[in-house]
Structure 1
Amino acid sequence: MIDQQFLERLIEYSPKLLESLQETTIMMGLATVAALLLGLPLGTTLFLTSPSQSLSESVWARVIHQILNLFVNIIRSFPFLLLVVAMQPIIRQFYGRATGDPVAASFPMMLIAIALYARFVEQSLHDIPKGVSELAESMGASQWELVVKFLYVEARSSLVIGFTTAFVSFLSYSTIMGVTGGGGIGDFAIRYGYQRYETDIMYVAVVVIIIMVQVLQWLGFKLARLIDKR
């Protein structure tokens, strides 16, 4: 039987829980936009300039590949909590504040989202059989047509699965923002559960996060199966 005091506290904290979910949605939304608008082309560029591709014959292409590869490696290997702390002075300089605002908290998440999804995209494109690129070249396809009409079409299922995996990681990163006062469901769990020694409220937040992860993964893999025509 559910404890009456727990229900009363849950009702009391429900507005804060809904507010934290809204903040998480904002952070996740901005990270998603950054991953799609910047991570996708970044990963594609890494693939096109990699040693196995024809563009690598250009010196500039090799330099670009090394620079972008170094950027992705540094961001992905940087402990996220330290990345958040290190970026706070920069965010405060350009945005005006670095904590207590989901938009401000989104900047580190956007950076890691770009690097994370770029690596997924690069790997997905490398998994495409080389015959696809050879077919596109034999048909006289331009570089743009090769990417949009051949590579993305062939890798669409893998790209969706990679994005789903990255999206779940974004949610995990968003909970860390609570440690630095960035808001979101993680902040709710820490502030109203852990710091007030109300572990049942903290577990409610954990259950909400688990449900969100399961729903997101189910939707992502369902979409990947639907668009996989192989």
Structure 2
Amino acid sequence: MTTSGEFNNSGNYVKIDQQAQNIYNLASDASPEARFDMGILHLKGGMPEKARELIREAVDRGHATPKTHFYLLLALLNGRTLQELPREDFDRLQKIVFTAASWPDNEWVAAIRLIGDLPNFFVDSATDAEIFNKRMNELGDTQAELIYQHLEAFLEGSILDQAWERAVQQAKDCQSDGNRAERVWKFFQPEPARARVCPPNPIQIEIVDCVRAIAGSVVFAASFITIALTALMRNG
């Protein structure tokens, strides 16, 4: 197939980037690791159904680690509630959570256990929300952000408020990352000074101007009196 666009070959899969759409092709003999990486790309691209398929295949073909199981949970639950899960996916979720209970602690295992406990949190309860937020804060930033991003269906009430607060804070923290202040410097200039009012020049009247004004007033008054007397004499 011939198509225009930008081609990036990497290992067993190809990413074809054209305008705002991504098309991912995976070789039939791709390794489990390549399938997992491709599954993550689909998950990030908003295609959870294909992500579930690829990540499940990667795990079933031997690429089974706490990290891959965590991503499989994200894919299984992305955009769905527990009630919407097919029986097969629900059983898979329970198996992962149950197995993770005996795994050595690390950031991925802690995230899996938190996902397994999500149905136990009553989102309208301030106490449960506080416990949830405490456990989320104990996770690594990567795991916490992925949970907030892909499991929004479980986040309601005060838990969802916390997610928004975290997102806003992250945006503020990352505002200047990647040397953005230099790359887009126009957006990082100091606040411009407010408009300044220029005071008028002080009034300065020369003596000659005063004399001319007085003289003019005298002439005007004399002329007015003359006109008035003339009018009276004619009427008299």
Q: Which has the higher contact order (CA 8 A, sep 6+)?
A: 1
TM range (shorter): under 0.3
Q: Whose Rg is larger?
A: 2
TM-score of the pair, normalised by structure 1 = 0.23
TM-score of the pair, normalised by structure 2 = 0.22
Q: Greater strand percent: which structure?
A: 2
